[in-house]
């Protein structure tokens, strides 16, 4: 494979965690990414130089803080191809974005008895909020299954989507790695008169995403999975839809007027941002976006594709390794979930930790996927811009040693 425009060895120098832990092999970026010094410094600079609340003060540092916060919103809008920064709502994370969507739409827009369609490859954050609202508003939920290869089985999707109000699905699965054709799925939703909501937690950090090209109505992602701080995430919403939606939480910031018997909401996106927001987090996310744009999202994708292809090759050559999800690395995001013989994933992850390798073990907040696969847990290795092919070789050697240690013939 030709080399890409991304040099992970150079990139690693920007990440203090690797300077402070020389032998750390971090293969868990699907859970959360590491942070470059540029992001850490942007957050620290904010607190050092302009810490104040936003949208309220008339004094200089408050104006600066507001500018920094709103500037981060513009960066997010440009990064995902939104028409304007008014389409970007800051939230805590993907989970909160999806709860906002479920609450606002599922309670106030969808009529009792309405239908929500999800897939069987969703993270819990795109299942449980809908279940909570379905219980209150007596909504039906339907699930589109996935096949043995880890692809969505759309054979009876038209039937499931008939009379649906909402189709909410993941762009990329955090267990199977499958990248779904989000544009086609959004089109399907719209053909059936449903709104299309996309969980982009595993796509926006790793590949070019353009919300206008995709045609989604809402899209959710987390800053901490894309080099940004924890506690800051994004709900993108088509402006007209956001205007129509009822707020999620009430309090300061989200109102224009408050009277004793009623209130008037602020304009979008502030209507959805009750209380003091995570200002420093937004600034840090802006710095993370600058960093990713400096590398180029095509390069990020290409690098992860290369690592994923290598990881799949390594695992397919190891006896007793069972890989889940599509065989073709082009159809996968940068992660591989697997099992090694009958070694419990927690035991394997603990063993790999002794070799300085961080992987995830368990159900990865996607129990229905594991149930569908007939297993209770997997081990997951995931990759980002700072991972190298050399690390994967250490990973392979550690897996081979694990087979010996656990006396697997």
Catalytic machinery residues:
365
Return the residues of window 213-232 that contact ligand PLP according to CB under 6 A: 222
- Report, in Å, the least distance between residue 159 CB and ligand PLP: 25
Integer CA distances (angstroms), 405 to 32, 352, 360, 400, 402, in order: 30, 12, 20, 9, 5
Cis peptide before 269 (omega within 30 of 0): yes
- Please identify, among the stretches 20-28, 40-48, 91-99, 273-281, the one whose residues bind ligand PLP according to the rule CB under 6 A: 91-99
- For position 378 contacting ligand PLP by CB under 6 A, the verdict is no
Number of helices (H), then strands (E), belonging to the chain: the values are 15, 15
- Please identify, among the stretches 51-59, 197-205, 287-295, 373-381, the one whose residues bind ligand PLP according to the rule CB under 6 A: 197-205
Nearer to ligand PLP, 125 or 266 (CB): 125
- Report, in Å, the least distance between residue 403 CB and ligand PLP: 29
Q: Using CB under 6 A, which of 199, 217, 273, 304 touches ligand PLP?
A: 199
Nearer to ligand PLP, 180 or 339 (CB): 180
Residue 390 CB coordination number (10 Å): 11
- Please identify, among the stretches 2-10, 198-206, 246-254, 381-389, the one whose residues bind ligand PLP according to the rule CB under 6 A: 198-206
How far apart (Å, rounded) are the C-alpha atoms in residues 362 and 369? Answer: 12
Helix (H) or strand (E) holding 317: helix 297-317
Of the chain, the end-to-end C-alpha distance in Å amounts to 33
Residues contacting residue 350 through CB under 8 Å, at least 6 positions apart: none
How far apart (Å, rounded) are the C-alpha atoms in residues 89 and 77? Answer: 10
How far apart (Å, rounded) are the C-alpha atoms in residues 395 and 127? Answer: 33
- Report, in Å, the least distance between residue 211 CB and ligand PLP: 17
- For position 95 contacting ligand PLP by CB under 6 A, the verdict is yes
Give the chain's radius of gyration (CA, Å). Answer: 22
In the three-class reduction of DSSP (H, G, I as helix; E, B as strand; rest coil), residue 72 is classed as helix
Return the residues of window 236-275 that contact ligand PLP according to CB under 6 A: none
Return the residues of window 144-183 that contact ligand PLP according to CB under 6 A: 170, 174
Nearer to ligand PLP, 14 or 96 (CB): 96
Q: Using CB under 6 A, which of 29, 99, 104, 202 touches ligand PLP?
A: 202
- Report, in Å, the least distance between residue 242 CB and ligand PLP: 20
Size of the site for ligand PLP (CB under 6 A): 12
- Report, in Å, the least distance between residue 303 CB and ligand PLP: 19
| Token output for 248 | 């999620």
- For position 125 contacting ligand PLP by CB under 6 A, the verdict is yes
Write out 125-161 in H/E/C secondary structure. Answer: HHCHHHHHHHHHHCCEEEEECECCCCCECCCCHHHHH
Q: Using CB under 6 A, which of 93, 104, 308, 387 touches ligand PLP?
A: 93
The beta strands (E) that lie in 270-356 are given as 321-324, 335-340
Return the residues of window 19-58 that contact ligand PLP according to CB under 6 A: 31
Helix (H) or strand (E) holding 196: strand 195-199
- Please identify, among the stretches 87-95, 157-165, 179-187, 321-329, the one whose residues bind ligand PLP according to the rule CB under 6 A: 87-95
Nearer to ligand PLP, 66 or 180 (CB): 180
Long-range CB contacts (within 8 A, 24+) of 326-329 = 326/149, 326/150, 326/151, 326/176, 326/177, 326/178, 327/149, 329/305
In the three-class reduction of DSSP (H, G, I as helix; E, B as strand; rest coil), residue 244 is classed as helix
Nearer to ligand PLP, 119 or 266 (CB): 119
Nearer to ligand PLP, 205 or 269 (CB): 205
- Report, in Å, the least distance between residue 174 CB and ligand PLP: 3
Residue 298 · residue 208 · CB < 8 Å? yes
How far apart (Å, rounded) are the C-alpha atoms in residues 308 and 382? Answer: 8
How far apart (Å, rounded) are the C-alpha atoms in residues 312 and 309? Answer: 5
- Please identify, among the stretches 72-80, 151-159, 199-207, 320-328, the one whose residues bind ligand PLP according to the rule CB under 6 A: 199-207
- Report, in Å, the least distance between residue 229 CB and ligand PLP: 12
- Report, in Å, the least distance between residue 201 CB and ligand PLP: 4
Nearest 5°: phi and psi at 233?
A: -145, 180
Nearer to ligand PLP, 50 or 105 (CB): 105
Q: Is the dihedral of CA 11, 12, 17, 19 positive or negative?
A: negative
Nearer to ligand PLP, 128 or 255 (CB): 128
Q: Which residues bind ligand PLP (CB under 6 A)?
A: 31, 93-95, 123, 125, 170, 174, 199, 201-202, 222
């Amino acid at each position: 494979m030709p080399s890409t425009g991304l040099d992970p060895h150079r990139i690693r120098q920007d990440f203090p965690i690797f300077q402070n832990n020389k032998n750390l092999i971090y293969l868990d970026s699907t859970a959360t990414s590491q942070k470059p010094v540029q992001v850490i410094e942007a957050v620290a600079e904010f607190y050092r130089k302009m810490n104040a609340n936003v949208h309220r003060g008339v004094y200089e540092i408050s104006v600066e803080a507001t500018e920094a916060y709103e500037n981060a919103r513009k960066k997010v809008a440009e990064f995902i191809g939104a028409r304007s920064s008014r389409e970007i709502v800051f939230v805590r994370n993907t989970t909160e974005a999806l709860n906002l969507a479920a609450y606002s739409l599922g309670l106030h827009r969808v009529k009792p008895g309405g239908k929500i369609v999800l897939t069987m490859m969703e993270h819990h954050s795109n299942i449980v909020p809908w279940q909570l609202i379905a219980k209150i508003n007596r909504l039906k939920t339907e699930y589109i299954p996935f096949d043995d290869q880890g692809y969505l089985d759309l054979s009876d999707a038209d039937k499931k989507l008939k009379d649906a109000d909402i189709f909410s699905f993941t762009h990329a699965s955090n267990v199977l790695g499958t990248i779904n054709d989000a544009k086609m799925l959004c089109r399907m939703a719209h053909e059936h008169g449903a709104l299309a909501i996309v969980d982009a937690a595993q796509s926006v950090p790793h590949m070019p995403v353009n919300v206008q090209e995709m045609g989604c109505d809402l899209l959710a992602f987390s800053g901490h999975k894309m080099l940004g701080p924890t506690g800051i995430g994004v709900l993108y919403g088509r402006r007209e839809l956001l205007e129509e939606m009822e707020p999620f939480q009430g309090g300061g910031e989200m109102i224009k007027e408050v009277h004793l018997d009623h209130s008037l909401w602020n304009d979008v996106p502030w209507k959805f941002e009750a209380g003091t927001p995570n200002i420093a987090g937004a600034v840090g996310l802006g710095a993370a976006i600058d960093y990713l744009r400096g590398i180029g999202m095509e390069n990020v994708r290409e690098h992860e594709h290369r690592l994923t292809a290598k990881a799949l090759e390594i695992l397919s050559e190891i006896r007793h390794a069972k890989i889940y999800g599509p065989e073709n690395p082009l159809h996968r995001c940068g992660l591989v979930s697997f099992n090694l013989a009958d070694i419990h994933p927690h035991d394997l992850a603990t063993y790999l930790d002794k070799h300085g390798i961080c992987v995830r073990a368990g159900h990865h907040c996607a129990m229905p996927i594991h149930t569908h696969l007939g297993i209770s847990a997997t081990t997951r290795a995931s990759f980002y811009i700072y991972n190298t092919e050399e690390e994967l070789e250490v990973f392979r050697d550690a897996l081979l040693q694990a087979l010996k240690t656990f006396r697997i013939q």
